[in-house]
Amino acid sequence: MIIAIDGPAAAGKGTIAVKLAQHYGLNHLDTGLLYRAIGRLMTEQGLDLDDPEAAGAVARQLRPKDLAHADLRGREAGELASRVAVHPEVRAALVDFQRDFARTPPGAVLDGRDIGTAICPNADVKIFVTASPEVRARRRTDELNAKGRDVPYERILAEILERDERDSHRSAAPLRQADDAIRLDTTALDADAAFQAAVAIVEAGHE
């Protein structure tokens, strides 16, 4: 079984993807990590993130060990990722790896922005996870505060809106709900309720 989960930043798709993979005994790939690692490598090498050729070259040389970098999950890496993700050269370099991962038995849950639309258009189940920008910003701010990082809510909200704008309006595989994806709005749901709703979608898709 292949489950495609797409949606904007901080909507809860990562948590849902991890739990679904555990629940159904599937592999899991957080595809955002690929773009984050490319952004990080380019910065370390002093390369221009807006240079499509340089970004494509780094993407083609990406190795699994690059995904283990310590601070790939932070805000800064997310911003770098969103910038390199606009280049068709980068996206093309990552397609085969993601499709091979999805096809490897027993199947997988992949989460990202273009899984249902571009990477796995024939996925068995497609879920588009979303939530209001305000609730997503509130969750991110609370997560950071819990780690002792005092970042103002307004700044997080502005970053989220900027990332939504860039991810949705780029020409290469923009963030978009696939026509056959089921929308899961987590605005009023906690993590457990969101997971239960995702399981219900998977079960309904397999009747």
Contacts to ligand DC by CB under 6 A: 9, 31-32, 35-36, 78, 81-82, 85, 112-114, 163, 167
Residue 141 CB, nearest approach to ligand DC (Å): 16
Q: Which is nearer to ligand DC, 72 or 201 (CB)?
A: 72
Residue 207 CB, nearest approach to ligand DC (Å): 28
Q: Which is nearer to ligand DC, 60 or 207 (CB)?
A: 60
Q: Which residue is nearest to ligand DC (CB)?
A: 32
Contact between 136 and 188 under an 8 Å Cβ cutoff? The reply is no
Q: What is the CA radius of gyration of the chain?
A: 16
Strand order in the sheet with 125-130: 27-30, 108-112, 2-6, 125-130, 182-185
Residue 24 CB, nearest approach to ligand DC (Å): 20
Question: Helix/strand/coil (H, E, C) string of 148-194?
Answer: CCCCCHHHHHHHHHHHHHHHHHCCCCCCCCCCCCEEEECCCCCHHHH
Residue 205 and residue 180: Cα distance in Å, rounded?
A: 11
Q: Which is nearer to ligand DC, 26 or 117 (CB)?
A: 117
Neighbours of 58 (CB within 10 A): 25
Q: Which is nearer to ligand DC, 168 or 203 (CB)?
A: 168
Cis ω for the linkage preceding 106 (within 30 of 0) = yes
Q: Which is nearer to ligand DC, 132 or 200 (CB)?
A: 132
Residue 70 CB, nearest approach to ligand DC (Å): 15
Residue 32 CB, nearest approach to ligand DC (Å): 2
